[in-house]
Amino acid sequence: MRKISLILFSIFILCAAAFGVSTFLSRNGTGEGRLTSMTENLGGPDEPLTHPLQITEMRKQEYPGSDLTIEQTLSAGSNYTRSIASYKSEGLKMFGLLTVPNGHVPEGGWPAIIFNHGYISPSVYSTTERYVAYVDGFARNGYVVFKPDYRGHGNSEGRAEGAYYSTAYTTDVINAMRSVERYPNVNPDKIGMWGHSMGGHITLRTMVATPDIKAGVIWGGVVVSYRDMAEKWRRGDRPPRPTPTFSPSRPGRQQLTERYGTFDEHPEFWRSISPIFFVSDISGPVQLHHGLADTTVPWEFSQSLKTTLDEAGKTAESYTYPGADHNLSGSAFGTAMSRSVSFFDRYLKGE
């Protein structure tokens, strides 16, 4: 009996010790027991309510840019040089189209415009194609113009991630801006930004995330809240665009919804990633242009931003063009370009 008692006592001690070690490991996070316990008790990882798309988070990041390197000299414009230049963004080698005016450099350096193009399939994108007349309109009027290729476009390194559910393209643009500020004979205090369609979203996001853009011009921009993008973005008579299919390699609304909830379940999160709700901090005046026959992006998007800017007491101009399409083709183009140049002249050149 005594032997049996000793054996049972020993077994009890061993079990108690094992239980104690298991409990210690679980509480102190050393071992797999902690993950199992958290999963059972909380139903998933305990994630903080932050996301890189939040404007407050973007403001915390560093965007050092780099020196611009001329990679290829192109045929010259009417009164300016053209070249392909490279710079760095998050360790990636990026490329873009650079124009520099000829002639006497003004005191303090040339004003510059960062040119944000709209959506073009990365599979067919080319640095020197599309937007030729747009770039020329600014370049021949005394502006350094840099049209960055977003990552995954042309020869730029990285994966094309989109502009709405990833900070990638905006990060590339801000780093492009920093790089242009360092370029010889550029006045770093006179930087403007132009954006079309998706590039308009990038322009607005940049202007509320950084203080350096002195004036912004947006043509046919996607400049509304995420809720409006989801519920009001129609193309022609087609129904609203469907939610992007989940993909672990490409961000989308579905992923954010699964993590943070719907617009109704967690409206404060969706507001926190929408640039339109931060226009009280916008870095400079804004001019908006939109064709009333635009079947790609509703002209009401620009009107919504204009109203929001007015309510915030910010300087904003808005122009609509009857019969004009998404690109403001035809007679509208010359008028919109003239207004855009005059706007930049006023706020970047003081004319």
Look at 188 and 18; give whichever has higher pLDDT: 188
Q: Give, in order, the Cα–Cα distances in Å from 15 to each of 2, 18, 21, 137, 237.
A: 20, 5, 10, 81, 70
Q: State the chain's maximal CA–CA distance in angstroms.
A: 108
Q: Give, in order, the Cα–Cα distances in Å from 97 to each of 39, 50, 76, 155, 257.
A: 50, 35, 12, 12, 37
* Mean pLDDT of all residues in 43-60: 78
Between CA 146 and CA 95, with CA 222 as vertex, the angle to 5 degrees is 25
Question: Which of 325, 338, 340 is CA-nearest to residue 115?
Answer: 340
> What is the set of domains in the chain, with CATH numbers?
2-42 (no CATH), 55-349 (3.40.50.1820)
Name the band, by pLDDT with cuts 50, 70 and 90, for residue 1. very low
Q: Is the pLDDT of residue 27 over 50?
A: no
Q: Is the pLDDT of residue 36 over 90?
A: no
Query: How far is the C-alpha of 172 from the C-alpha of 181, rounded, in Å?
Result: 14
CA atoms within 13 Å, Cβ hemisphere of 205? 34
CA atoms within 13 Å, Cβ hemisphere of 270? 20
* Mean pLDDT of all residues in 7-31: 39
Look at phi and psi of residue 233 and say left if phi exceeds 0, alpha if psi is from -120 to 50, else beta.
Answer: beta
Q: To the nearest whole number, what is the mean pLDDT of the chain?
A: 86
The pLDDT of residue 251? 61
Q: Is the pLDDT of residue 151 over 80?
A: yes
Query: Tens digit of pLDDT for each residue in 209-232?
Result: 999 999 999 999 999 999 999 999
Query: Tens digit of pLDDT for each residue in 94-129?
Result: 999 999 999 999 999 999 999 999 999 999 999 999
Q: Is the pLDDT of residue 235 over 80?
A: no
Query: How far is the C-alpha of 39 from the C-alpha of 6, rounded, in Å?
Result: 39
Q: Give, in order, the Cα–Cα distances in Å from 2 to each of 12, 15, 24, 68.
A: 15, 20, 33, 86
Query: How far is the C-alpha of 11 from the C-alpha of 256, rounded, in Å?
Result: 51
Question: Which of 195, 219, 194 is CA-nearest to residue 294?
Answer: 219
Query: How far is the C-alpha of 141 from the C-alpha of 103, rounded, in Å?
Result: 12
Find all residues with CB under 8 Å of 157, minimum gap 6, and list them.
92, 93, 94, 151
Phi and psi at 66, nearest 5°, equal -165, 180
Q: Which two tokens stand for residue 1?
A: 């009996």
CA atoms within 13 Å, Cβ hemisphere of 233? 19
For residue 191, the cross-strand partners are 112
Query: How far is the C-alpha of 148 from the C-alpha of 103, rounded, in Å?
Result: 24
Name the band, by pLDDT with cuts 50, 70 and 90, for residue 351. confident
Query: How far is the C-alpha of 209 from the C-alpha of 169, rounded, in Å?
Result: 13
